[in-house]
Amino acid sequence: MDLLFTIVATIVALGLLVTIHEYGHFWVARRCGVKVLRFSVGFGSPLYRWYDRQGTEFVIAAIPLGGYVKMLDEREAPVDEAELERAFNRKDVKQRIAIVAAGPLANFLLAIVAFWIIAVVGITTLAPVLGPVQPGSVAARAGLSEGLEILEVDGRTTRSWHEVNLQLIRRLGETGQMQVTARSLEGGEPQTYTLELRDWLRGADQPDPIAALGLTSWQPVVAPRIGQLNADGAAAAAGLQEGDLIVEVNGEPVDDWVRQVVPAIQNSAGQTLNLGVERNGRFLSVELVPAVREQGERQVGFIGAGVEAFDWPEHMIRSIDYNPLVAIPVAVGKTWDMTVLTLESLKKMLTGLVSAKNLSGPITIAKVAGASAKSGLESFLTFIAYLSISLGVLNLLPIPVLDGGHLVYYTAEWIRGKPLSERIQAWGLQIGLTLIVGIMLFAIYNDISRLGG
């Protein structure tokens, strides 16, 4: 069932992105007087097709990994003299630039709409309040301490841990100073703390910016009472039951799930763990061996048990929403910020500041699509917006076979007053295909490596 849900969520996400992208090309082509022969969502054999009044064939194809808009063009097939004025290649260079650019621009518009819906509907999130700060860490040396709420990172407002993480990602691989503004929950004036970075997380395969600074998120004291069990997990096999209260771990008293029980389990991968449990007023001793799971470069233990649901203090919860008019510039600004961040990340990958192993392919996209869909509308819309921005940026890269490559050709034609030679365009096509295929294969290799891990 989980696999089916992931497949459906992936098809919905990719189908929406491809449809919007190709519709951008289609809509502008029609307004420029170009005859569109086919609008296809997907590749391969058609599953369903229909025609509109202008004779355009609309196709939903079997392989949902892309799409295309086929236009009347003398370079692809002979064109009847009566329809020459409707051929793409007969349009002036400005119109061709508009048609090509419309696809990526439609992706950015989709991201704006998604962010606008999120802003209007609103989200409820946890305030970015610090838990214990790791001694000797970058954050500790700067003076940050438990109980401070992060208000800004490098001058940008941060109202959630998600926003904090996004601002930290901007600084990956860099050397310099990071400014963090924070204030105690108990009140007082905000203070600015200066964090010194030196080749920070340069080349890290799976960077965790928050943990790398020595920061943790504040957690309430959570009673270690079992609320859920995996039937195949070590906890269930050892006889633990829902409602059991863990009061001892290896003879040491415990009263907090997050700070005491979880670390003890994670640090006991493959080793015997003795738990003291209170059940219906009786004390029981339970012995189990946590299973082993790879997490980055280390092994951690897990027992297939979850804590009973608990409530967060009201002062730790932030509700963020906007009226429909104010939400427009908010959505545009967020789309712009994510576009810039995507470009900066690509630049850092090329210069080695960020590991190219962070490049993801279809397998990772599918996993994230399924997980975000399960997490709710806000998570799924955010995933759609981020992926749409990535698709827009990717297509605008000056690589032949991509929209950006065609824009380079047409811009050169506009400046020169005549097109580039067919020989140069053919060379560009071969180079572009090689680059794209290489990038795709490397992204899939990264996906498979993550699955292996």
Catalytic residues: 22
Task: Give the largest CA-CA distance in the chain.
Answer: 92
Q: Packing angle between helix 2-31 and helix 93-121, nearest 10 degrees? A: 140
Determine the Cα–Cα distance for residues 430 and 326; give it in Å rounded to an integer.
Answer: 47
| DSSP code for 356 | G
Residue 195: both structure tokens together: 């964090």
Element holding 40 (H helix, E strand) = strand 36-51
- C-alpha distance from residue 421 to each of 74, 376, 413, 418, 427 (Å): 16, 51, 10, 9, 10
Determine the Cα–Cα distance for residues 363 and 381; give it in Å rounded to an integer.
Answer: 19
| DSSP code for 261 | I
Determine the Cα–Cα distance for residues 52 and 55; give it in Å rounded to an integer.
Answer: 5
Q: Using only the alpha carbons of the chain, give its radius of gyration.
A: 27
Residue 186: both structure tokens together: 């108990």
- With a CB cutoff of 8 Å and minimum separation 6, the contacts of 343 are 393
Q: How far is CA 230 from the centre of its chain?
A: 28
Q: Give the closest residue to 217 by CA, choosing from 318, 311, 126, 124.
A: 126
- C-alpha distance from residue 396 to each of 163, 274, 392, 407, 431 (Å): 26, 58, 6, 8, 16
Residue 87: both structure tokens together: 């051929």
| Main-chain dihedrals φ then ψ at residue 62, nearest 5 degrees | -75, -30
Measured from the Cβ of residue 431, the count of other Cβ atoms closer than 10 Å reads 14
| Main-chain dihedrals φ then ψ at residue 433, nearest 5 degrees | -60, -40
Q: Give the closest residue to 10 by CA, choosing from 341, 450, 452, 447.
A: 447
Determine the Cα–Cα distance for residues 305 and 253; give it in Å rounded to an integer.
Answer: 19
Determine the Cα–Cα distance for residues 444 and 363; give it in Å rounded to an integer.
Answer: 7
Determine the Cα–Cα distance for residues 275 and 280; give it in Å rounded to an integer.
Answer: 16
